Structure 1
Amino acid sequence: MSNASQELNTADATAAEPVVKKVNEQDRAPMSVTIRIFIYLVAVHFFAGFLFLLFYLAGANAK
């Protein structure tokens, strides 16, 4: 490393102000997609729970 790059690294490390990374709008999915995924996940879990309950009750009645 050259002396100039070492000085820059030292200056960056001792900066008085913390570095705040702003959330870029492109880094996030649109809100409608987020809500749709959440609804799909909840619906799939309810459907899986319903199937589990059906198989559980059918197995209990078979004995």
Structure 2
Amino acid sequence: MDYLGLVAIILGVMLLLLGAGMTFKIEILEMIMQSFMGVIAMLFGLVLLLGGAMIVKDDQ
């Protein structure tokens, strides 16, 4: 598995935990995930950036 797929899996798990914390009002989970919102945003941006770069590189 490449590192892009691994980062995407980690990001997906973090977003699932965030969604569960917000849906079921699990306070500790919601608090932990809100403190990692910046990390989630950076990982999401990294996945999009690297995925786009791979697509552009393959097209040339």
Q: TM-score range by the shorter chain?
A: 0.3 to 0.5
The structure whose Rg is larger is 1
TM, length-normalised to structure 1: 0.42
Q: Which has the higher contact order (CA 8 A, sep 6+)?
A: 2
What TM-score, normalized by structure 2, do the two folds share? 0.43
